[in-house]
Structures are given as C-alpha cells and as structure tokens.
C-alpha cells in the first residue's frame, strides 16, 4: 500500500490561456477503488496523463507506485494480428496464463486471443485489454471510460469484474457502475478538488446537503450585509449632520447653545464615525465569509427543446422486418415488429452487433428517399444489405439525429453553425447551458474532449424542431451533471424519441418502452 501525493500542481496546454489545474494539492491511497468525477473538459484524462508522465507541469506528484492505463493504444498493425501475439507489447510484464485467468473472470473464451483483433466486438476488445491491464501485480491502474459503446450485458460483466478488484482510478459517468465499483471519489469541482470516501450516491447526497447549507449561509450573509449597510448609512448621515452643526449658530433660535458646546459635538461626531468604521469592517468580514460559498455549486440551467406535432399518431412502424448484410451468414435480426407513437420514447436494446445502429440508419435512409433530404443519407449498407418485411414512416416526418460517431466534427463553431444552418449565438448559448466554457468557442472542434464533441451534437439536435428525435448513444463521454440536465429536459417536454443508450439509470427514468433486438 502506497500513497500518491499531489502538491501545488499547475498545468495548462501550450497556447491555452486557461490553466487546467492551478496549485492543486491532495493525496490518494493506491489501495482504494477510486471513482474520478467532474464536468467534461475539467481535466480528468489530462490528470491521468500527468500521472503517466506524458506532460511537463509545475508542482509535484510523488509516489513509489507504477501506473498502467486503459485503453491501450492499438496500433494499425495490431488489427490484423491475433491479440495473443502482441500482449507483451501492450504490457511488457504480461504473462499469458494470468491473462487467461482474467478472461475467465470476464466470461470470455480464450479463443478471442487467437482471432484477428479487428474481428473482435467492442465488448471483446475491452475485455481483452482489461484482462491484460489486471494481469500485472502492484500496478496502480488508470481506467478511462471502460463501458462506452458497450451493451447492457457487457456492462454488467465489467461491473461485476471491477467489484472484485482494487487499486485503480475509474473515470466514468455511468452512475450505476460507479455505485457498484468504488469506495472513494476524487471530484473535480468548479473551483476546488475534494477526496471523499463512499460511492457516487453517497457523494451526491453529501454534495446536495453541502450545497443547501451553502445556499442558506449565503442568504444569511446577504441579509446581514443589507442590514449593516442600512445602519451604516443612517449613522453616517447622523454623523455628517452633527459635524455640520459644530460651527455657526443663531443665538435667537438656539439660546441654550454656546461656543463651548463645539467640543462636545466634535466628540459625539467622532464616536458616530467610529461606529460607521466598525460597521464597514463587519460588512467586509461578512462579504469575505460569503465569498466562495457558492463557487462549487452545480446549478444546471433548464434546457429547452422544440418538438413538432405530426398529424399522424403512429410515426414509425415495423412489421416482421428483417435485415441482413450481403455476406453475412445470419441476419442481424428477423421478424422485428413495433410501433412508435407520438410521445413515445423507445429504447433499442440488445447486444453489440445485433443491429441497433443499422436499424436507425435504415430508417434514416428510407426517410431521405421519401423527402429527398441528402443530409440524412448515410453509408448504411457497406457491402450491401437485404431487407424483408415492412418498415413504414409517416409522410412529412422531420427527424433530428445524433450520430454516435464524432470523428466528422472539424473546424470551428462558426463553420459548423453555417454548415448546419444554426443561429450561432443561440447555439453557443445552449453549449454554455451545457457547461462548456466560452474559451472553447475559439478552438477547433478536433481539440475538444469527446464529451464536448457530444455536447456539440446534442446542442444542434436541441435547436432542430422535429417530430422525431433519433439519438444513437448520445451520452457516451457526457458528464453526470449534464446527463441529469438532459433527463429533466426530456421528462419536461416529452418529445417523441427513438434511442440507443446503455446508461441504466437514464433508461429507467426516460423510457416509455423498450424494443428488444
């Protein structure tokens, strides 16, 4: 058991005006199961890279432990090789028998090590890399978003696997995973960093209590400051009035006063001015105590969406619909039957590779053929695909689509808005409501974090009035606070939606129905 001590850590990227970290200090234990939380762009992945020694920084990070990082970099030449052939290149101390033991815990057959890596599913690749990661001894493991793009079953397996482990930092926005797997949290707040024992739910409960206390203290200080300011102003006015009466008087009107009273008036004025100074000092102390009370409070702005109403009740229906790729032995799915009515929020559920995204692209392809909208034409079929059964879409349907892929985002915000026909000022306003810093607006989107790229797609969809919102894994990389913000939005406006999303808590709150593939 060792400690990692961070002292006065300061870091920013070259050419950036804002520091990612500034004089940050804290300590963590390498025996912990540590969840790492924070808004998108706050520096979670950056901090992991600092631990790995990838960047220069000010301050110190002292520890005797050795770090290893997930996900490993998979070089292009690895894709055509068997995973078993390059394990030692991923982790030099790796022993095959230990990897096989870890794969068994992950419920994966050893044969995955003897297939070309490019043929493995997202889930199989993740499990192979986790098996390699945990095959070492005494390493402190840095695990960055292990469940993105994974189906529900794979997430459950990884959740059960990580429950048995310790000695890691887990970066994740999946509340269910965090609750199950961690015993401490490291949180990047707005203006501070805190380390706390417990899981996500216990931290969130404590945070709400702390935030409510800070709000009450803030209100108390505001009232005290207002009261002191009014009293100070009254006393100042009395002092000024008294001071002005020291010199000059009318004997016919003030027959009881003489020159000798001047000293008395001066002493009285001085006493009142002293009281004013004391009140001003108290005001300064109250303001100082008030400062910082609200700096770490998360106050998400309520988002808005503009769903359209369609003249038909049923917007989309499938009747015994099947889809098979041209060279595949088996169809992706067969005899799929469901209806999507106005107000429904249907989640497509199934294992990776079962055809969820392919079904969405088939719907968009059919829609683009009906409406001649070229912006919705997607490379659905690859080598070609065969459809059977019925897939019908209401005429005149307007769809807003979020792709799970963000690699196409290039250039700056201004260019993106011009290309999509979006009002730039409103678009930036929505991004600010999703807690994206203004400094990001001057950067190219290639330099955004994955979570920030997702927020670009979500903001664009929210700005698009539509009958149907089709979102394909919209929450990958999105921070916990924004997930809750989006949950509230969807429950308030209740747009008609077809979604693929594996966040269990999100689906439980939002779904009106589930379509199993």
Mean pLDDT of all residues in 117-145: 90
pLDDT tens digit sequence for 67-116: 999 999 999 999 999 988 999 999 998 899 999 999 999 999 999 999 89
pLDDT score recorded for residue 144: 92
Q: Kindly report the CA angle at 448 between 292 and 506, in degrees rounded to 5? A: 75
Task: For domain 3-207, give the fold.
Answer: Rossmann fold (3.40.50)
Structure tokens at 349: 């559920």
Polymer length in residues for the chain: 517
Q: Determine the pLDDT at residue 235.
A: 72
In this prediction, residue 137 has a pLDDT band, given cuts at 50, 70 and 90, of: confident
**315 neighbors 261 (Cβ within 8 angstroms):** no
Asked whether the predicted pLDDT for residue 517 surpasses 60, the reply is: yes
- Mean per-residue pLDDT, 469-489: 92
Other Cβ atoms less than 10 A from the Cβ of 25: the count is 12
CATH fold of the domain at 314-516: Rossmann fold (3.40.50)
Higher-scoring residue by pLDDT: 238, 509: 509
Q: What is the band of 378 on the pLDDT scale with cuts at 50, 70, 90? A: very low
Model pLDDT, residue 181: 94
Cα gap 189→200, rounded to integer Å: 14
Q: Is the model more confident about 12 or about 226?
A: 12
pLDDT, average across residues 121-130? 89
Q: Pick the closest to residue 504 from 270, 158, 266 (CA basis).
A: 158
pLDDT reported for residue 201? 93
For residue 70, the model assigns a pLDDT of: 93
In the prediction, which pLDDT does 7 show? 94
> Is the pLDDT assigned to residue 243 strictly greater than 90?
no
Torsion of CA 142, 147, 153, 159, to 10 degrees: 30
Q: How are strands ordered across the β-sheet holding 184-188?
A: 66-70, 139-144, 168-171, 33-38, 184-188, 193-197
Lowest mean pLDDT among 56-70, 241-255, 342-356, 441-455: 241-255
Q: What is the distance between the alpha carbons of residues 240 and 85, in angstroms, rounded to a whole number?
A: 89
Predicted local confidence at residue 270, as pLDDT: 73
Helix (H, G, I), strand (E, B), or coil: what is residue 418? helix
Contacts of 219 (CB under 8 A, 6+ apart): none
Q: What is the mean pLDDT of the chain?
A: 85
Q: What is the pLDDT, as a whole number, of residue 288?
A: 65
Confidence of residue 447 (pLDDT cuts 50, 70, 90): confident
pTM above 0.85, yes or no: no
Task: Quote the percentage of the chain above a pLDDT of 90.
Answer: 50
For residue 380, the model assigns a pLDDT of 43
- φ, ψ of residue 225 to 5 degrees: the values are -65, -45
pLDDT digits (tens, 9 = 90+) for 257-289: 555 566 666 676 777 777 777 777 776 776 666
> pLDDT at position 164, please?
93
pLDDT at position 47, please? 92
Q: How far apart are CA 139 and CA 30, in angstroms?
A: 9
Distance CA 453, CA 113 (A): 33
Q: Would you state the pLDDT for residue 437?
A: 84
Domain boundaries, the chain: 3-207, 211-290, 314-516
Tokens of 425: 């000022």
Closest CA to 299 of 179, 194, 215, 220: 215
513-516 sheet: strands from edge to edge: 399-402, 468-472, 497-500, 345-349, 513-516
Q: Which long-range contacts (CB under 8 A, 24 or more apart) does 458-462 make?
A: 458/402, 458/434, 458/486, 459/427, 459/430, 459/431, 459/434, 460/416, 460/420, 460/422, 460/427, 461/400, 461/401, 461/402, 462/303, 462/304, 462/305, 462/430, 462/489
Question: Which of 167-171, 234-238, 242-246, 404-408 is predicted least confidently?
Answer: 242-246
If you average pLDDT over residues 391-401, what whole number do you get? 92
Domains 3-207 and 314-516 share a fold: yes
- Residue 370 has a pLDDT of 73
């Amino acid at each position: 058991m060792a400690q990692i001590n961070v002292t006065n850590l300061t870091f920013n990227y070259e050419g950036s005006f804002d520091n990612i970290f500034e004089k940050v200090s804290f300590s963590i234990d390498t025996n912990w199961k540590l969840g790492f939380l924070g808004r998108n762009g706050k520096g979670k992945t950056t901090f992991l890279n600092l631990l790995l020694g990838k960047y220069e920084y000010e301050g110190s990070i002292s520890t005797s432990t050795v770090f290893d990082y997930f996900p490993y970099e998979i070089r292009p030449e690895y894709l055509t090789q068997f995973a078993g052939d390059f394990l030692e290149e991923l982790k030099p101390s790796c022993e095959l028998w230990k990897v096989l033991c870890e794969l068994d815990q992950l419920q994966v057959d050893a044969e995955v090590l003897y297939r070309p890596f490019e043929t493995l599913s997202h889930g199989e690749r993740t499990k192979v890399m986790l098996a390699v990661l945990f095959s070492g001894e005494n390493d402190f493991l840095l695990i960055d978003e292990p469940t993105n793009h994974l189906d529900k079953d794979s997430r459950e397996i990884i959740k059960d696997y990580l429950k048995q482990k310790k000695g890691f930092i887990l970066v994740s926005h999946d509340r269910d995973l965090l609750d199950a797997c961690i015993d401490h949290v490291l949180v990047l707040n707005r203006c501070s960093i805190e380390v706390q024992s417990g899981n996500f739910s216990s931290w969130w409960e404590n945070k709400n209590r702390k935030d409510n206390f800070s709000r009450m203290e803030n209100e108390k200080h505001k009232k005290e400051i207002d009261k002191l300011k009014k009293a100070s102003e009254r006393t100042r006015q009395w002092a000024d009035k008294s001071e002005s009466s020291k010199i000059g008087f009318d004997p016919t009107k003030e027959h009881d006063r003489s020159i000798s009273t001047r000293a008395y008036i001066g002493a009285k004025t001085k006493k009142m001015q002293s009281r004013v100074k004391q009140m001003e000092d108290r005001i300064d102390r109250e303001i100082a105590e008030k400062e910082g009370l609200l700096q770490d409070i998360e106050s998400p702005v309520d988002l808005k969406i503009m769903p359209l109403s369609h003249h038909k009740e049923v917007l989309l229906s499938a009747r015994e619909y099947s889809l098979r790729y041209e060279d595949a032995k088996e169809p992706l799915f067969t005899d799929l039957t469901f209806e999507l009515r106005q107000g429904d929020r249907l989640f497509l559920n199934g294992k990776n590779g079962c055809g969820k995204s392919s079904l969405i692209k088939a719907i968009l392809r059919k829609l683009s053929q009906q409406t001649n909208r070229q912006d919705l034409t997607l490379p659905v079929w690859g080598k070609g695909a065969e459809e059977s059964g019925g897939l019908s879409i209401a005429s005149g349907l307007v769809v807003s689509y979020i792709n799970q892929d963000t690699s196409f985002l290039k250039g700056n915000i201004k260019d993106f808005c011009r290309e999509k026909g979006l009002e730039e000022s409103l678009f930036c306003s929505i991004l600010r409501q999703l807690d994206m810093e203004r400094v990001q607006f001057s950067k190219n989107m290639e330099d955004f974090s994955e979570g920030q790229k997702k927020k670009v797609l979500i903001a664009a969809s929210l700005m698009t009035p539509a009958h149907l919102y089709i979102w394909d894994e919209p929450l990958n990389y999105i921070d916990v606070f924004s997930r809750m913000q989006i949950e509230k939005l969807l429950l308030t406006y209740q747009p008609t939606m077809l979604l693929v999303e594996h966040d269990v808590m999100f689906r439980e709150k939002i779904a009106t129905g589930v379509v199993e593939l």
